[in-house]
Every structure is written in structure tokens, then in C-alpha cells.
């Protein structure tokens, strides 16, 4: 089992503890809701959706989180500012979990955090994400809005190997973090396809060993671009997906983007099992998981 030599940062965002040595805190699972094509959304421009179905998805994930001991962050995705604001208002009302402010458009993300800048939930919001393309204006708005948490995407087509991603972080991205005034920094090591998750996992290890920041990745990005895999159907898909999701945890991942929130019923048990094994091994090195850890919840 792993124990990193550098001091590990632990963040407290909303009701979630994130980071630390492997086994010290359970892996945080991040599921997406209101994403493009999500059938519960009837008008993605205005953010109109089936509230009963959305609440059922959130409630079911909350039950699984309590049952396994894996905390959660809700990845709220919106195409427009109006939609994203509506979605976040709804999610914030129905749970106390941290919320990712997520959109493919920086304009939408920035207008959304401006909307919530002076609200009670701003401390629970996590900007997703800062990368090599983030502008100075973007960083300034994040700072001016008082947002303290963000995902940092440590990936570039010119920085694919783990050592190159660490260099990218040190020379570029962590400087952006300072400009944005961020305190809680979540390093996403980036994924291209399923085989590349091995490099993403190695980068997670490098980030934690050399810098101590909470780190993770999004294996789900690779799972849903593989037409051959999706065509296999169930349970073939879930079997492969489970192994894909837990691999980074064995390398020290603090969080995992697992894709659509509807998949929570099989994702949580798979990740909790790996968490339990990691924590059990860590006890030999003096790491003591809290009583709500999956080690004590599922076995």
C-alpha cells in the first residue's frame, strides 16, 4: 500500500473532507446531473427539468454515500447561465454536498459564480475547471467572487507523460491558482481513453508525492466515448467500468468523476471495496481511517 513522503493537504468543503494519505479519508465520488442529453431535462436552454426525477437521483446517491462511506460532490452541468443557475439552486436546496459549477463555456461558468458570489452557498461551489486556456479575466472573476475551490486540469497535448504534467503544474497552472486566490485545489490529471488512465493514475501518484495536493481524474470521460464498449451492454460495461474507475484509487486518488449520476448504484460499492482494501493495507503504516470509512461500512 502507499504512503506519500510529502505532507498531504486535506480540504473541508461543505460536508466533505478531501485529500490526505491513502486510507485517511474515503474517495470522494463525483456524479454528473443535467448533462447534455440527460433525459430528465426538457429545456436545456432555460434549465427546465423533471424535479421529482432529479430529487430521486440525488436522494438515491445520498443513500449510497451513507451506506458505503464514500462522500460525494455533485457535478452540475449547464449549457446556459439561466439553466446552470436553476440547476444549482435546486441541488443546493436538496443537499449539503459541494457542487461543481460546470459548463463547456467559460462565459456561463463566470456569469453563474457572479450570480452566487454573495450567497450562502458560495463556500460549497467548486469551479470546474482551470486549465492552460484559462484567461486572466477568468482568474480575476473567480477571485473577485470569493470562490475558494476549483478543479485544475493538469493536461495538455504537449504534456501527456506524468513528468510533463507535473512540470505544467509547477510552471503554469499553480501560478494561475495564485492569481485566482484559490485555497482548495483539486488536481484533475486528465484522461484521453481507457488505456491512458494508467498514465493519469501515475500522475496522481506524482502529484501527491511531490506536491501533496488532492488529486483524481475522470475515467468516465473514456468510458463513454468507446462505442465498442457501450455496444456490449450490461453487465459487460459495468464490469469493465468498475475496474476502470477503481484503478486510480489504488494509486492514491482522492476523487473520481464517475459519469452520469444514474450509475451510482454500482459505482459506489465498487469504489468502496477498493477504498476498504487500501485503508486496511494502510493500517500497517499507521494510517487510521475514520469510523465512517468504507472499511467499516461494507465488510
CB atoms under 10 Å from CB of 284, counted, come to 9
User: Which pairing describes strands 125-130 and 149-153: parallel, antiparallel, or unpaired?
Assistant: parallel
**Is the pLDDT assigned to residue 1 strictly greater than 80?**
no
Per residue in 141-186, pLDDT (tens digit) is: 999 999 999 999 999 999 999 999 999 999 999 999 999 999 999 9
Residue 228, pLDDT score: 76
Average pLDDT rounded to a whole number, residues 266-291: 96
Whether the CA torsion 141, 124, 216, 281 is positive or negative: it is positive
- Enumerate the domain spans of the chain: 10-297
Sequence-distant (≥ 6) Cβ neighbours of residue 298 within 8 angstroms: 67, 68, 69, 269, 272, 273, 276
* pLDDT per position as a tens digit, 28-68: 999 999 999 999 999 999 999 999 999 999 999 999 999 99
Please give the share of the chain, as a percent, with pLDDT higher than 90.
Answer: 93
Q: Which CATH superfamily is domain 10-297 in?
A: Dihydropteroate synthase-like (3.20.20.20)
Nearest by Cα to 138 from 99, 188, 179, 174: 179
Hey, what's the cell of 220?
468516465
Amino acid at each position: 500500500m502507499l504512503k506519500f513522503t510529502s505532507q498531504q493537504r486535506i480540504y473541508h468543503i461543505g460536508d466533505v473532507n478531501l485529500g490526505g494519505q491513502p486510507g485517511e479519508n474515503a474517495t470522494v465520488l463525483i456524479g454528473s446531473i443535467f448533462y447534455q442529453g440527460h433525459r430528465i431535462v426538457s429545456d436545456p436552454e432555460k434549465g427546465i427539468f423533471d424535479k421529482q426525477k432529479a430529487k430521486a437521483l440525488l436522494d438515491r446517491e445520498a443513500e449510497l454515500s451513507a451506506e458505503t462511506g464514500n462522500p460525494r460532490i455533485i457535478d452540475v452541468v449547464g449549457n446556459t447561465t439561466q439553466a446552470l443557475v436553476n440547476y444549482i439552486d435546486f441541488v443546493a436546496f436538496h443537499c449539503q454536498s459541494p457542487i461543481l459549477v460546470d459548463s463547456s463555456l467559460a462565459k456561463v461558468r463566470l456569469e453563474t459564480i457572479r450570480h452566487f458570489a454573495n450567497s450562502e452557498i458560495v463556500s460549497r461551489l467548486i469551479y470546474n475547471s482551470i486549465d492552460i486556456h484559462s484567461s486572466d479575466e477568468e482568474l480575476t472573476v473567480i477571485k473577485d467572487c470569493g470562490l475558494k475551490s476549483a478543479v485544475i486540469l493538469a493536461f495538455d497535448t504537449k504534456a501527456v507523460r506524468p513528468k510533463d504534467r507535473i512540470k505544467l503544474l509547477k510552471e503554469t497552472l499553480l501560478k494561475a491558482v495564485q492569481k485566482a486566490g484559490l485555497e482548495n485545489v483539486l488536481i484533475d490529471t486528465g484522461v484521453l481513453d481507457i488505456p491512458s488512465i494508467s498514465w493519469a493514475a501515475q500522475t496522481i501518484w506524482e502529484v501527491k508525492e511531490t506536491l501533496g495536493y488532492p488529486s483524481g481524474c475522470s475515467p468516465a470521460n473514456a468510458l463513454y466515448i468507446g462505442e465498442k464498449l457501450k455496444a456490449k451492454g450490461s453487465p459487460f460495461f459495468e464490469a469493465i467500468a468498475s475496474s476502470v474507475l477503481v484503478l486510480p484509487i489504488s494509486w492514491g486518488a482522492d476523487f473520481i468523476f464517475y459519469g452520469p449520476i444514474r450509475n451510482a448504484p454500482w459505482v459506489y460499492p465498487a469504489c468502496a471495496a477498493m477504498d476498504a482494501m487500501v485503508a486496511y493495507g494502510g493500517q500497517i503504516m499507521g494510517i487510521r481511517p475514520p469510523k465512517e470509512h468504507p472499511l467499516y461500512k461494507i465488510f
